[in-house]
Structure 1
Amino acid sequence: METPRLIGMTSRPRFSVVIPCYNEERYLTDALLSLRKQDFDGEFEVVVVDNNCTDDTAGVARDFGAVVVTEPTPGVCNARQAGTLAARGEIVVSADADTVYERDWLSRIDAGFRADERIVAVVGPCTYADGPRWGRYFGRGLFGAVNAVYRATGRAVYASATNIAFRRDAWTGYDTGLTQGGDELDQLRRLRGKGRVVYDHANPTFTSGRRLARGFMYNVFVSLVVHYLLTYTVNRIAGRRVFGQAPAFREDFR
């Protein structure tokens, strides 16, 4: 049976959904199935970046009609940079392989951009689809605070890299000297410098809780404080990659 393609045949689709991957064949199918079921009535493409995969990630992506780009330099910013450079859409949507998306996800993003031509980005939260209860509470608390700040100030201070959409002509690149945080904090900073960034708290994505498998203490003090906040801050101040990429998590709760 022929597999339906995710994209149409126009020269420039409305959206390019960019998904960086390192050995994600196990999760990618669910992500692509959720994208196939989108109720958005325009055209969009999916760009999957093979970032040194040793499994059949690329084969899964091609079976769904996705564009596959190879990026040999490891790191999420390198992968997103390569995927965005290959993207043909008016709007690039940053997504992840271990994440699924509601049917109206792209439609809501589209409506956000159409509300005001000065909007350069529409971003949103994510929630853990599985894993320990504390992880889900943590996510709700984090993005609840982000939403409160946005409602009070109009400033989007954080968004998940699973849920950042931006106009291609407002994009100034990813800083490939950065690792964790480079595709979220730094990208938001750059986009705010180009225009208005809208935070849509009612349009979440649903991501795997596999990264929580090592427990609360590890995730707060090692993953968040060291691998994310400290690494991002030091690398950005230094202007180069002083601290490298955090270990890739492949534990899960399935």
Structure 2
Amino acid sequence: MTRRPGAADITVVVPARDDAAHLARCLDALARQSHPPFEVVVVDNASTDATAEVARAAGARVVREDSVGIPAAASRGYDAVEGGIIARCDADSLPPGDWLARIASVFDADPTLSAVTGAGTFYDLPPVRGHLARVFYMRGYFWGMRAAVANVPLWGSNMALRVSAWHGVRHLVHRDDPQVHDDTDLSFQLGSSARVRYDRALTVGVSGRTFQSPASLARRFRWARRTLEVNWAVSPPWERWTHRISTARQLPAAPERAVAPQPAVTPGPAVTPEQTVTPEPAVAAPPDRMLDPAPDRG
């Protein structure tokens, strides 16, 4: 594909395994973006259903990853992106029409930014359960992993990073371990001094299927424990925070330009849900803008 001069090249990576129905709705939402993606890459993680066929029918590029697990699939997708910005969502994500435009504006406003992430709303949970899931599960993730990583943690259903940032850490991620959370693991590898932003305005719809059974939720907590174990063995949290604080004192804050407001997007048809590489140099962000749900007061 030919890159567009002057346009922010954003390639969307969607890892998927046996999730054709959700994927079709996600790709439909991506097709209605006010800022069209340069390309959509769907990683077929050894699916046995029509995942690959659905992706091709929507015009996405399909890459195959036979090692089952989100870490392997996500890494395979990131490796397939040649330049610009990688936007990542999951097959059950429903990005609003201005999602990519918001990502483009955030990166344009801060050339030193390595990555950005945001939260989500659970579109298929009853209102009360959805609110509780957002408050306790999602905010708990950002608060808890913020302390563990000593930086803003990325959330895989709604995140973006520069290809240059990925190239700096792609040999460090635990892509062959299906028992780690790939997004948190990537956050660890980016490091405690990387410039990562939480954007309150960057949101997507996500499925609440994590909460369908105690077993599903328990599995995610096991993965979280595994992710912490393998990364803290290399760099425990007190070392990460010491490095972060010392770096923040040494480096000046990056100049910041205002993020341009996005024009209103006319909604389309309603969507019915059913390791040695040196990371890129980082500039510490002003503490009070690092993460809205868990502001750094240090």
Matched, 1:77 2:71: yes
Matched-pair contact (CA < 8 Å) for 2:20–2:49: yes
Q: Aligned residue for 2:160?
A: 165
Picking from 103, 114, 117, the partner of 1:109 is 103
Matched-pair contact (CA < 8 Å) for 2:174–2:180: no
CA shift in 2, pair 1:46/1:129, >3 Å: same
Matches within 5 A, 1:1-254: 9-10=2-3, 14-40=9-35, 43-132=37-126, 133-144=128-139, 156-171=151-166, 172-173=169-170, 174-179=173-178, 181-193=180-192, 195-215=194-214, 218=215, 222-226=218-222, 228-236=223-231, 254=274
Between the aligned partners of 1:112 and 1:97, the Cα distance in structure 2 is 23
TM-score by length of 1: 0.78
RMSD between aligned alpha carbons? Answer: 2.9
165-174 or 189-198, larger mean C-alpha shift: 189-198
Gaps of at least 5 residues in structure 1 are 1-7, 150-154, 240-252
SS of match in other structure, 1:122? strand
Q: How many residues align?
A: 226
- Report the alpha carbon displacement of residue 38 of structure 1 after superposing the two structures with TM: 0.4
Larger radius of gyration: 2
Matched-pair contact (CA < 8 Å) for 1:77–1:182: yes
Q: Aligned residue for 1:250?
A: none
Between the aligned partners of 1:238 and 1:53, the Cα distance in structure 2 is 33
SS of match in other structure, 1:54? coil
Q: What is the letter of the counterpart of residue 196 of structure 1?
A: R
- Report the alpha carbon displacement of residue 184 of structure 1 after superposing the two structures with TM: 1.7
What are the Cα deviations for residues 111-135 of structure 1, in whole angstroms up to 9, with x where unaligned? 1101111111111112211135434
Between the aligned partners of 2:108 and 2:225, the Cα distance in structure 1 is 37
Q: What is the letter of the counterpart of residue 122 of structure 1?
A: V
Q: What is the letter of the counterpart of residue 176 of structure 1?
A: R
- Report the alpha carbon displacement of residue 177 of structure 1 after superposing the two structures with TM: 3.7
Matched-pair contact (CA < 8 Å) for 1:178–1:236: no
Q: What is the letter of the counterpart of residue 39 of structure 1?
A: S
Gaps of at least 5 residues in structure 2 are 145-149, 235-272, 275-298
Between the aligned partners of 2:25 and 2:143, the Cα distance in structure 1 is 31
Q: What is the letter of the counterpart of residue 188 of structure 2?
A: R
- Report the alpha carbon displacement of residue 219 of structure 1 after superposing the two structures with TM: 5.4
- Report the alpha carbon displacement of residue 157 of structure 1 after superposing the two structures with TM: 3.2
- Report the alpha carbon displacement of residue 180 of structure 1 after superposing the two structures with TM: 5.0
Q: What is the letter of the counterpart of residue 3 of structure 2?
A: T
Matched-pair contact (CA < 8 Å) for 2:86–2:161: yes
Q: Aligned residue for 2:267?
A: none
Identity, in percent, stands at: 31
CA shift in 2, pair 1:224/1:50, >3 Å: closer
Between the aligned partners of 1:77 and 1:135, the Cα distance in structure 2 is 27
What are the Cα deviations for residues 137-163 of structure 1, in whole angstroms up to 9, with x where unaligned? 2223454567789xxxxx753332011
Between the aligned partners of 1:22 and 1:238, the Cα distance in structure 2 is 30
Q: What is the letter of the counterpart of residue 19 of structure 1?
A: V
Between the aligned partners of 1:224 and 1:148, the Cα distance in structure 2 is 16
Matched-pair contact (CA < 8 Å) for 2:18–2:47: yes
CA shift in 2, pair 1:33/1:80, >3 Å: same
Between the aligned partners of 2:76 and 2:157, the Cα distance in structure 1 is 16
TM-score by length of 2: 0.67
